[in-house]
Structure 1
Amino acid sequence: MKRGALPLNALRAFEATARNGKMTLAADELGVTYGAVSRQVRSLEEVLGVTLFEGPRNRLRPTDAAEDLLPSLTEAFDGIEAAVNRVTGQEKRLLDISCFGTFVLRWLIPRLYDFQNRHPAIEIRMTSEDIPVDFRRHKMDIAIRSDQGGQDQWADAVVTPLLQDLVGPVVSPSLVPEGGFHDPAALAALPILHTKTRVGAWPKWCASVGASLPLDGQYFEHFYFLLEAATAGLGVAIAPHILVQDDLRAGRLVAPFGFIPSGIAYVALSPPNAGKDSQAFLTWLQAMAAA
Structure 2
Amino acid sequence: MARRALPSLNALRAFEAFARHGRMTLAADELCVTHGAISRQIRQLEEQLGVPLTEGPRSRLRMTEAGLKLAQGLSPAFDQIEAAVPRPPQVGPRPLVVSCLPTFAMKWLIPRLPRFQAAHPDIPVRVMESNGPFDYQADGVDLAIRMRTLGQTYPQDSLETPFMEHFHGPVMSPELAASIEPTLANICALPRLHTRTFMESWSDWARKMPGDLPEPVSQQEFDHYFYLIEAAAAGLGVAVGPWAFVQRDLASGRLTAPLGFVSGEAAVVALTPIEGSAPAALRFRDWLVEEGRSSPLPPTSPEAACDSSAER
Per the shorter chain, which TM-score range? Answer: 0.5 to 0.7
Alignment of 1:35-184 (within 5 A): 91-177=92-178, 181=182, 183-184=183-184
Q: 3-state SS of the aligned residue for 1:249?
A: helix
Alignment of 1:11-22 (within 5 A): none
Match of 1:53 in 2: none
**Normalization by structure 1: what TM-score?**
0.63
- Unaligned runs of at least 5 residues, structure 1: 1-27, 32-84
CA displacement 1:94-139 (0-9 Å, x = unmatched): 1011112111112111211211222222211111113324323320
Alignment of 1:234-245 (within 5 A): 234-245=236-247
Which amino acid is the alignment partner of residue 262 of structure 1? G
Q: 3-state SS of the aligned residue for 1:288?
A: helix
Alignment of 1:124-273 (within 5 A): 124-177=125-178, 181=182, 183-188=183-188, 190-209=190-209, 210=211, 212-215=213-216, 216-271=218-273, 272-273=275-276
Q: 3-state SS of the aligned residue for 2:248?
A: helix
2:171, 2:257 within 8 Å by CA — same for their partners in 1? yes
Q: 3-state SS of the aligned residue for 2:259?
A: coil
Match of 1:11 in 2: none
CA distance in 2, matches of 1:145, 1:124: 17
1:184, 1:211 within 8 Å by CA — same for their partners in 2? no
Match of 1:278 in 2: 281
Q: Which moved more, 1:129-138 or 1:257-266?
A: 129-138
Which amino acid is the alignment partner of residue 267 of structure 1? V
CA distance in 2, matches of 1:149, 1:207: 14
Which has the larger Rg? 1
Q: 3-state SS of the aligned residue for 1:254?
A: coil
Match of 1:78 in 2: none
Cα RMSD, aligned residues only: 2.7
Which amino acid is the alignment partner of residue 291 of structure 2? M
Which amino acid is the alignment partner of residue 227 of structure 1? I
2:204, 2:265 within 8 Å by CA — same for their partners in 1? no
